[in-house]
Amino acid sequence: MVAYDIETLTVVEKVLTQVEKIRFTPTKENGEYQGKLAHEWAMSNDFGLRNWLVVRHIIDVYGEDRQFYNSTFRYMDHNDYTYWVMPQWVKPDWQTHFDYNDNYVLNRQRITDETYAGSQI
Protein backbone atom coordinates (compact mmCIF):
# COMPACT_ATOMS: atom_id res chain seq x y z
CA MET A 1 0.00 0.00 0.00
CA VAL A 2 1.20 3.49 -0.87
CA ALA A 3 1.75 5.91 2.00
CA TYR A 4 -0.22 9.12 1.51
CA ASP A 5 0.95 12.48 2.82
CA ILE A 6 -1.06 15.68 2.70
CA GLU A 7 1.27 17.39 0.22
CA THR A 8 1.06 14.51 -2.25
CA LEU A 9 -2.71 14.23 -1.87
CA THR A 10 -3.05 17.96 -2.53
CA VAL A 11 -1.10 17.67 -5.80
CA VAL A 12 -3.06 14.59 -6.89
CA GLU A 13 -6.34 16.35 -6.08
CA LYS A 14 -5.33 19.45 -8.10
CA VAL A 15 -4.25 17.40 -11.12
CA LEU A 16 -7.35 15.21 -11.16
CA THR A 17 -9.62 18.22 -10.68
CA GLN A 18 -8.03 19.74 -13.79
CA VAL A 19 -8.49 16.45 -15.67
CA GLU A 20 -12.23 16.63 -14.98
CA LYS A 21 -12.30 19.81 -17.13
CA ILE A 22 -10.85 18.07 -20.21
CA ARG A 23 -13.29 17.57 -23.06
CA PHE A 24 -13.87 13.80 -23.15
CA THR A 25 -15.62 12.08 -26.06
CA PRO A 26 -18.33 9.52 -25.28
CA THR A 27 -17.98 6.04 -26.79
CA LYS A 28 -21.66 5.96 -27.71
CA GLU A 29 -22.70 6.31 -31.34
CA ASN A 30 -26.24 7.60 -31.91
CA GLY A 31 -26.97 6.99 -28.25
CA GLU A 32 -25.95 3.31 -28.36
CA TYR A 33 -22.59 1.91 -27.32
CA GLN A 34 -20.98 -0.66 -29.58
CA GLY A 35 -18.61 -2.33 -27.10
CA LYS A 36 -18.33 -3.94 -23.66
CA LEU A 37 -18.17 -0.76 -21.57
CA ALA A 38 -19.68 2.63 -22.32
CA HIS A 39 -17.22 5.30 -21.20
CA GLU A 40 -15.48 8.49 -22.33
CA TRP A 41 -11.99 9.04 -23.71
CA ALA A 42 -9.55 11.88 -24.41
CA MET A 43 -6.30 11.78 -26.38
CA SER A 44 -2.96 13.15 -25.19
CA ASN A 45 -2.72 15.29 -28.36
CA ASP A 46 -5.85 17.11 -27.15
CA PHE A 47 -4.69 17.96 -23.61
CA GLY A 48 -0.90 17.58 -23.77
CA LEU A 49 1.46 14.63 -23.52
CA ARG A 50 3.05 16.03 -20.37
CA ASN A 51 -0.37 16.17 -18.71
CA TRP A 52 -1.10 12.62 -19.88
CA LEU A 53 2.20 11.44 -18.37
CA VAL A 54 1.34 13.05 -15.02
CA VAL A 55 -2.07 11.36 -14.96
CA ARG A 56 -0.49 8.05 -16.04
CA HIS A 57 1.92 8.32 -13.11
CA ILE A 58 -0.90 9.07 -10.64
CA ILE A 59 -2.89 6.07 -11.88
CA ASP A 60 0.21 3.87 -11.74
CA VAL A 61 1.19 4.87 -8.18
CA TYR A 62 -2.17 5.48 -6.50
CA GLY A 63 -4.56 3.37 -8.57
CA GLU A 64 -5.73 -0.15 -7.88
CA ASP A 65 -5.77 -3.21 -10.11
CA ARG A 66 -9.19 -4.57 -11.07
CA GLN A 67 -10.27 -7.30 -13.42
CA PHE A 68 -12.18 -6.34 -16.54
CA TYR A 69 -13.29 -9.53 -18.23
CA ASN A 70 -10.01 -11.38 -18.99
CA SER A 71 -7.67 -8.41 -18.46
CA THR A 72 -6.32 -6.49 -15.50
CA PHE A 73 -6.44 -2.71 -15.60
CA ARG A 74 -5.27 -0.18 -13.03
CA TYR A 75 -7.99 2.31 -12.09
CA MET A 76 -7.99 5.56 -10.15
CA ASP A 77 -11.26 6.79 -8.68
CA HIS A 78 -11.70 10.52 -8.19
CA ASN A 79 -14.95 12.25 -7.32
CA ASP A 80 -17.58 10.91 -9.76
CA TYR A 81 -15.18 9.19 -12.18
CA THR A 82 -12.94 6.17 -12.57
CA TYR A 83 -9.88 6.88 -14.77
CA TRP A 84 -7.57 4.44 -16.56
CA VAL A 85 -4.98 4.14 -19.29
CA MET A 86 -4.19 1.02 -21.29
CA PRO A 87 -2.53 -1.71 -19.18
CA GLN A 88 0.86 -1.55 -20.93
CA TRP A 89 1.38 2.02 -19.63
CA VAL A 90 1.31 0.99 -15.96
CA LYS A 91 3.75 -1.91 -16.17
CA PRO A 92 7.35 -1.63 -14.86
CA ASP A 93 8.84 -1.63 -18.39
CA TRP A 94 6.33 0.82 -19.90
CA GLN A 95 9.02 3.28 -21.05
CA THR A 96 10.71 0.71 -23.29
CA HIS A 97 7.65 0.74 -25.57
CA PHE A 98 6.73 4.40 -25.20
CA ASP A 99 7.00 6.77 -28.17
CA TYR A 100 6.96 10.46 -27.25
CA ASN A 101 5.66 11.26 -30.74
CA ASP A 102 2.58 9.06 -30.41
CA ASN A 103 -0.93 9.86 -29.15
CA TYR A 104 -2.28 8.11 -26.02
CA VAL A 105 -5.77 7.61 -24.63
CA LEU A 106 -7.06 8.47 -21.16
CA ASN A 107 -10.37 6.80 -20.34
CA ARG A 108 -12.94 7.60 -17.72
CA GLN A 109 -16.36 6.43 -16.65
CA ARG A 110 -18.87 7.90 -14.25
CA ILE A 111 -18.77 5.77 -11.08
CA THR A 112 -22.51 6.13 -10.58
CA ASP A 113 -23.25 4.22 -13.82
CA GLU A 114 -24.86 0.81 -13.22
CA THR A 115 -21.83 -1.06 -14.51
CA TYR A 116 -18.59 0.77 -14.03
CA ALA A 117 -15.01 0.10 -15.06
CA GLY A 118 -13.44 -2.77 -13.22
CA SER A 119 -16.66 -4.15 -11.82
CA GLN A 120 -16.68 -7.20 -14.13
CA ILE A 121 -14.87 -10.25 -12.83
Work out the average pLDDT over 87-103. Answer: 92
Q: How far, in Å, CA of 21 to CA of 115, rounded?
A: 23
| Rounded CA Rg of the chain | 14
User: Which of 28-42, 51-65, 102-116 bottoms out in mean pLDDT, i.e. has the lowest?
Assistant: 28-42
CA-nearest of 53, 61, 63, 57 to 103 is: 53
Q: How far, in Å, CA of 49 to CA of 39, rounded?
A: 21
Domain boundaries, the chain: 6-26+37-110
At 37-92, the pLDDT tens digits run: 778 999 999 889 998 999 999 999 989 999 888 888 999 998 888 999 998 999 98
CA-nearest of 106, 98, 113 to 19 is: 106
Q: What is residue 1's three-state secondary structure?
A: coil
| pLDDT reported for residue 101 | 94
